[in-house]
Every structure is written in C-alpha cells, then in structure tokens.
Structure 1
Amino acid sequence: MTASTTPCWLKRFSLALGFLLCLLSALPAQAAEDIVARRLSARIEEGALEISTRYQTTLPAPLQDALQQGVPLTFQLTFELTRPRSSAWWQQLKTLFEPTATLSFKLVYYRLTNRYRVAIGGLATNYGSLNEALSAVGSIAGWRVMDVSGWDSDSQHSLRGRVRLELDISQLPRPFQLNALGSRDWTLESDWITVAPEVNN
C-alpha cells in the first residue's frame, strides 16, 4: 500500500515545487519591466569617468494617481565602481560603503498648469505630457562620476562599473512610504547594467 502512494506524493510535490520555481523566476523579469535601459555608455574624458544614460519608465496606476494628486516622485540614478577590485574596495571604504555616485531626478505634476516638471539638482524642465517627462527621468549625458586622472592606462582600460535607476521610496511622504512597503506597484527599479568606458587618448 505504501509503495503505491509514495510515487503519487512525490509527483504532487515535484509539481508544486516546479510551480513555485516558475513563480519565483518570473518575479525579477516582471520587476524589471517598469524601468528599462535604452542607452548606457561610459567614457574617460579629461581625466574623469563620464556616464551617459537613457531609460524608458512606465508608472503603475497607483503611482500615476499619486503623481496627479501632487505627490513628487524622486528617482535615483546610481553608479557603482566594480573593477579594478582593489580600487572598488577603496572607493567603498572612502565613502563608507555608499555608491560611487548618485544623481536624483524629481518628477512633479502641477494641476494648475497641467504641466510636468523634472528637476535635476537646481535645473528643471517643464513637459506637456507624462510620457515626455518620464523620458527625461534618468536621461543624462556626460555625468562625471569619478576622477581617474591619477590612474595608469591599464587601470583605466580595466575599469568597470554598474548603473541602475530606481524610485527612491524614502523621499515619499510618510503615508505613501507605508503604502509602498511590500507593494509591487511602488517598487520601481531597473536591472543593474555593467558599463565599460571608452578611453580617449
């Protein structure tokens, strides 16, 4: 009797395990659909590592509603040095394990004028549609992320880093931060993408 039920139990277990693995493997792919990198490049220019990026961002309905209600959305573009390993480790130690460089993009909707504004630091640009504004979020050319003027040519050629754009939940008003906890609709981030610079001699 036992011999006839054991294969059935194993079959059910393997089916359940397979289903669970399918669900887990689908999660990262789904999470990466909201922010997709369209262009990423790096180069060394005048002794500095420069990054250029462009992203396509899609806001889930709850975030669109929050934006329409006047809630500003802050996105953070992050660069982390990964190679050479010794330099990457020293960079992390020097910055107390913070990213090598970050840049914030603040997206705001003004109901009175029906316009969107994207601010990068002290510079801001207005847009007539949400799609236009979102195309500006995470888009930057010649972003100087670190000084490599003291590096020799071999070290510059071996330099590698990774870049990611994500919604900075910590910048949301407190009630919205609570809503964002554990919610798929409020977790927006791109995949980490490795970049290697072109070296201009």
Structure 2
Amino acid sequence: MLGWVLAWWPAVAPAQSKGASVSQMRLELADDGVYLNAQVQFELPNLVEEVLDKGIAIYFVAEAELFRERWYWTDLRIAQATRHMRLAYQPLSRRWRLNVSPMPITNSGFGVSLNQNFDTLAEALEGVRRVARLRLGDISEIGDEGLHPVTFRFRLDTSQLPRPFQIGVVGQADWNISVERSARLPLEKMK
C-alpha cells in the first residue's frame, strides 16, 4: 500500500515559469574573491507592468549557492549569496528606479543599497536581468581547482508586495517569474 502511495505522489520539480530561462552563468576568479555572473531572460507580463505603472514597486531575488563535491556524502555548501532588487516607477520624474542590495529592501530607508535610474522600463529590466559580480566568497574558502557545483535561482518576490496584492496574486500565473539552474562550473580568471 505504501508503495502505491509513493508512486502516486507527484514528483516536485524546481519552480520555473514558462518564459524564464538562464541564458548565461559563469564563475569568475578575482584577487578579492569568487564572483558569479548570470543573465536571466524573461518577459514581464502585462498585469505586472500595469502594477508598476501605478507606482507600486516589485521585488526580485537572485540567489546562488556554491558547493564542494564529496564522494562520501552529499555535496558541502561552501558559499551562498543573495541579491535583492526593487524596481519602481517614479511618477514625478517619469523615471524608473532600481535598488540593489544584499539584504531585503524595506521602506525604512536603512540599509546599504545601490540606486540606479533609467529612462525606460526596458532599460531598467536589463539591469534586473543581468546579475553581475555576485560575490560568493574568498578564494581561500572556496579553492580554485576543479569544477564547482553551482545552483542559481532567480524569482519575483511576491511576499514584499502590499497585502492586497499578495492576496490577489495567489494562483495567478502572471506573477510566477522564477527560474533555477544548476551546473558544474570551472573558475575563470577575470581579465
């Protein structure tokens, strides 16, 4: 009976929206550490664009984990990094603002974040899609030999939307922008 229940239980696959993909992923070795660069491809659904046009910010999260392979046990996670991005339309200046931070971005104004302004939504989305120099750690912690298993995740974070939108997005495919990619990557020297 237990075998039948386990056979019936659906397998859980990584969450991935229909149009999202990771077109490029690379590990780079610099003097001050190891960095991940990735390029994510996705189209913003019309419903999400309408919310942005009304001045409501949307949030994206890029996460990376770097592992050390072990033949005697599961792979050991040796590095992890997260980048939070907040995209908002500024109606007074008619510009798009992208905030990038290693910590969740709040409205309190505290925390460290990089702010960029763009003239068009297309330019701002290019800044969101390009995850550049996500620092994973020091070379001494990671090592520079062999291939390294890496898992990269990118998603639209609906948990930071205003409460009425959080309730309204449940079950709507337009709000499901997420992708995950795993690969074994060599470290490349930065030029």
The TM-score normalised by the length of structure 2 is 0.73
**Distance (Å, rounded) in 1 between the aligned partners of 2:22 and 2:161:** 24
Partners of 1:115 and 1:129 within 8 A in 2 = yes
Alignment of 1:19-98 (within 5 A): 31-33=17-19, 35-46=20-31, 48-85=33-70, 88-89=75-76, 91=78
| 1:48 Cα deviation from its structure 2 partner | 2.4
Q: Equivalent residue of 2:93, what SS?
A: coil
- The number of aligned residues is 163
Alignment of 1:1-201 (within 5 A): 31-33=17-19, 35-46=20-31, 48-85=33-70, 88-89=75-76, 91=78, 100-121=80-101, 122-153=113-144, 156-194=145-183, 196-200=185-189
Any unmatched runs of 5+ in structure 2? 1-14, 102-112
Call closer, same or farther: CA 1:69–1:183 in 2, change over 3 Å.
Answer: same
Q: CA RMSD in A?
A: 2.6
| 1:88 Cα deviation from its structure 2 partner | 4.5
Identity between Structure 1 and Structure 2 (%): 26
Any unmatched runs of 5+ in structure 1? 1-27, 92-98
Call closer, same or farther: CA 1:36–1:158 in 2, change over 3 Å.
Answer: closer
Query: Going by fraction, where is helix more abundant, 1 or 2?
Result: 1
Q: Equivalent residue of 1:137, what SS?
A: helix
Query: Going by fraction, where is strand more abundant, 1 or 2?
Result: 2
Please identify runs of 4+ aligned residues in structure 1 that moved more than 6 A: none
